[in-house]
Amino acid sequence: MWGTEKEMQDTQRDRMSNAIRAWIINLENYPGWKEWKRKQIGHTLHFDDPFPSGKHEVGFRFSDEVEKQHAIVLQYLGLQEAISLLKECEFYFRRYPFHGLPVTRHNHITNVCEMYFGRFYQFKERLKNYFKAVKAFAPEHRIEIGAFIRTFEKVFDQELRARNGVHHRRRFEDIAIDRVFLTESFSSSDDDRGGKRQRLSAYRKLASEWAQSVRRRGTMMDEFLEAIAGATLTNCSFLSAELSANPHLSIGRAQ
């Protein structure tokens, strides 16, 4: 549920989201921006129209200063998205939607594991681009970028190694997934009720363990984003100024 500002203290992520929201609202006053957005929506809805109404510029160019601000905002939202996508993996682990199709349970859970590991690499690469954007806006920043990235790599070393192994060598292997494979192989008959219970039990236990892992690691990812948000607000004056000028935008945080 959503609380009020009086009921709880906002996190740095809340403050960052509020600052970005205020910045986006103020961006509506930038010359030409609203008109370009309107045309962009129309272009997206009718991109396959054989008789287009006119040429549409794909990109919009702000001033150099606003371009740097825009890059920080977009890159930060990309980090938020990466964490959200990682957390969604929990529900992929919890669901097996391929009954009657040629996708086995062990292949399904292996696929989800590989997608899950990729999310950590995705976040790390986006993190590098984010800090590049911060450096471009605030070259005198005091963020220990190298140390921060190394800490991230250390904390999530297992997941990053697994992702690199899948990308460069072979599919992810895990003894518990091998067990699911064996129970599927040894009890493939629909008449084998005992075998069916065994393979379902093995799969559900494994899926539950992975889902719990996603929740734990997702919470740790939030802690990294919390540190990023705090450092950004300290070093990027345009966001801290937006926050000070628009305190009414605070919406609290989810519980």
The more confidently predicted of residues 45 and 227 is 227
Q: What distance in Å separates the CA atoms of residue 249 and residue 101, rounded to the nearest whole number?
A: 49
pLDDT score at 72: 97
Question: How confident is the model over 122-151, as a mean pLDDT?
Answer: 95
Domain coordinates in residue numbering, the chain: 12-30+62-249
pLDDT score at 43: 64
In this predicted structure, the answer to whether residue 192 has a pLDDT above a threshold of 60 is: no
pLDDT score at 209: 94
Question: How confident is the model over 64-73, as a mean pLDDT?
Answer: 94
Residue percentage of the chain with pLDDT more than 70? 80
For the record, the structure tokens of 157 come out as 């070393």
In this predicted structure, the answer to whether residue 23 has a pLDDT above a threshold of 80 is: yes
Question: How confident is the model over 210-224, as a mean pLDDT?
Answer: 97
pLDDT score at 254: 32
Mean pLDDT of the chain: 84
The more confidently predicted of residues 5 and 109 is 109
Task: Please return the burial class of 104, using the count of CB atoms within 10 Å of its CB with bins 0-12, 13-18 and 19+.
Answer: middle
Yes or no: say if 5 and 221 are a contact pair by the CB < 8 Å rule.
no
In this predicted structure, the answer to whether residue 183 has a pLDDT above a threshold of 90 is: no
pLDDT score at 189: 54
pLDDT band at 194 (very low <50, low <70, confident <90, very high): low
Question: How confident is the model over 84-100, as a mean pLDDT?
Answer: 94
HSE-up of residue 130 (Cα within 13 Å, Cβ side): 26
In this predicted structure, the answer to whether residue 251 has a pLDDT above a threshold of 60 is: no
Yes or no: say if 186 and 198 are a contact pair by the CB < 8 Å rule.
no
Q: Helix/strand/coil (H, E, C) string of the chain?
A: CECCCCCCCCCHHHHHHHHHHHHHHHHCCCCCHHHHHHHHHHHHHCCCCCCCCCCCCCCCCCCHHHHHHHHHHHHHHHHHHHHHHHHHHHHHHHCCCCCCCCCCHHHHHHHHHHHHHHHHHHHHHHHHHHHHHHHHHCCCCCCCHHHHHHHHHHHCHHHHHHHHHHHHCCCCCCHHHHHHHHHHHHCCCCCCHHHHHHHHHHHHHHHHHHHHHHHHHHHHHHHHHHHHHHHHHHHCHHHHHHHHHCHHHCCCCEC
In this predicted structure, the answer to whether residue 126 has a pLDDT above a threshold of 50 is: yes
